[in-house]
Structure 1
Amino acid sequence: MFLPPRWLQKDSFPEATTFLAAELSDQFLKLLQEVGPQSNEAILVPASQSLALRSQLRTELSRPDDFSPLVLEGMLMTTVAQAGRSLSRRHHGKPPAWLSRAKELLQDFAGAPPSIEEIAHSAGVHPAHLSREFRRQFGCTPGEYGRQIRIQQAKLHLTKTRWPLSQISLQSGFSDQAHFSRTFKRYTGSTPLEYRRSFTSQ
């Protein structure tokens, strides 16, 4: 996540966590404000993008050399700029009606998710056009968005019910508990059980 200047941040982690904070130059912040979102907006980096960034940062920090500061700065600036560009594009008008219908379809499906072809047919557009415009407007692919919806549903079940994990995995649309646990940790950084305990212990 990118936070604008003078924003305060408070985080709570359920377990030992490595936290990396970086301050960007005034020149870059000024440029970002000119071409991207307003200075009072936070920028959330999409999960697909942040996973790659974490891997690159871990590799660079584990074997630093004289060029590491330059490489790290480039990584972070590029990531923030790309995320800011996606946010800026999404702010320019409402998405077309057919794209909103495609998004709603992903929110409402139960069981096996629809294919790109099925979503595109329902929206009345070509699958390639759907994929391109969905990412441009919402910052992720239809598949990534559908997975995020499932994770949000699972979070709600974990905090509002006492259902066993096997039941939550099925209710949230995952094929089995193992798949659910792997995907949940990939997107949240903690297992479903750790996530639930972090709320029940408060």
Structure 2
Amino acid sequence: MKQLQKGQFFGETNTTISLDGITLTDTVYTHDKVDWHYHENAYFTFILQGNVIEGNKKEIYHCGPGALLFHNWDESHYNIKPPGFTRGFHVEIERQWLDEAGLGKTSLEGSKAIANIDVKLLMYKIFRAGKMNDGLTAIAVQSLLIETLSTLQKDSHQVLLKKPKWVSMIDDILHSQTGNNVTLEHLSKLLDIHPVHLSRDFPKYFRCNLGEYIRKLKVEKALSLMAMGKLSLTEIAYKCGFSDQSHFTRSFREINGLNPSMHRKLLLKK
């Protein structure tokens, strides 16, 4: 079984940025099938455009734009690329960097799909920091990556705590209804929970209030649609449930750090 070394991925690499213990690669996947292999370092795969199927010993992931996977070192897996253009962004982390950052004993093991909306938004910021490629890229990427791994560690610890059934239920509902105008009363009826109780306890499990979480989901959906390159920003705003273009731009900038047109420009930058 082949081991891929630092910065090595199957496909045509657009850019490689080597920082101190961190390597960023922007790669177009060109292989219809990649046999079982593993990597020297732990890394994230973030699908920017297109689709890919990835399997390991336990699970198979069907990944579209915005899908995020984590692989620990030496974790074997394979890839299948459906027809069409597919592009991935990778954040590769050397063990020494993890140790020096105090994250060497991270609870991230094996291969796993990551659904946490805050982590996905952080990954978009890491991608953009790499595209800036200026004197602040290194410190920006390092800070964002530490925040990313710390958030995932908190998630792992929280899994050990017993959550009410409604926590996973509401997350599924909100993900499936992104773009629709949901109300507190509607959610309360679906979950059979009093609106006051739902509003009060929601931040305990999602680290923000209900309205803020829904806006994050809308922006994350917009980011995925922008990667497909088929819709105008006005069409994307409508599909994601924003009342108008200005509301979309304001929410996008507040959550994602820059306006939609600038993000799209950086996304298309090779």
Calculate the TM-score normalised by the size of structure 2: 0.43
Q: Structure 1 residue 178 and structure 2 residue 246: aligned?
A: yes
Structure 2 contact 222–237 (Cα < 8 Å) conserved: yes
Supply the AA of the counterpart residue of 1:194: M
Moved over 6 A (4+): 83-86
Deviates more, 1:164-173 or 1:85-94: 85-94
Gaps of 5+ in 2: 1-19, 25-100, 109-115, 119-150
Quick one: distance in 1 between partners of 2:234 and 2:181? 19
Determine the structure 2 residue equivalent to 1:200. 268
Determine the structure 2 residue equivalent to 1:102. 170
Q: Structure 1 residue 138 and structure 2 residue 216: aligned?
A: no
Determine the structure 1 residue equivalent to 2:234. 166
Select which of 176, 181, 195 maps to 1:127: 195
Q: Where do 1:36-55 residues align within 5 Å?
A: 40=106
Determine the structure 2 residue equivalent to 1:24. none
- Higher share of residues assigned strand: 2
Supply the AA of the counterpart residue of 1:155: L
Structure 2 contact 174–214 (Cα < 8 Å) conserved: yes
What is the root-mean-square deviation in Å for CA atoms of aligned residues? 3.7
**Structure 1 residue 170: deviation in Å?**
0.3
Determine the structure 2 residue equivalent to 1:114. 182
Structure 2 contact 170–191 (Cα < 8 Å) conserved: yes
- Higher share of residues assigned helix: 1
Calculate percent identity across the aligned residue pairs: 27
Q: What is the SS of the residue equivalent to 1:140?
A: coil
Q: Where do 1:71-82 residues align within 5 Å?
A: none
**Structure 1 residue 127: deviation in Å?**
1.4
Calculate the TM-score normalised by the size of structure 1: 0.56
Select which of 248, 254, 257 maps to 1:189: 257
Quick one: distance in 1 between partners of 2:193 and 2:204? 15
Relative contact order (alpha carbons < 8 A, sep ≥ 6): 1 or 2 greater? 1
Structure 1 contact 86–138 (Cα < 8 Å) conserved: no
Tell me: CA distance 1:94–1:150, structure 2 relative to 1, closer, same or farther (3 Å): farther
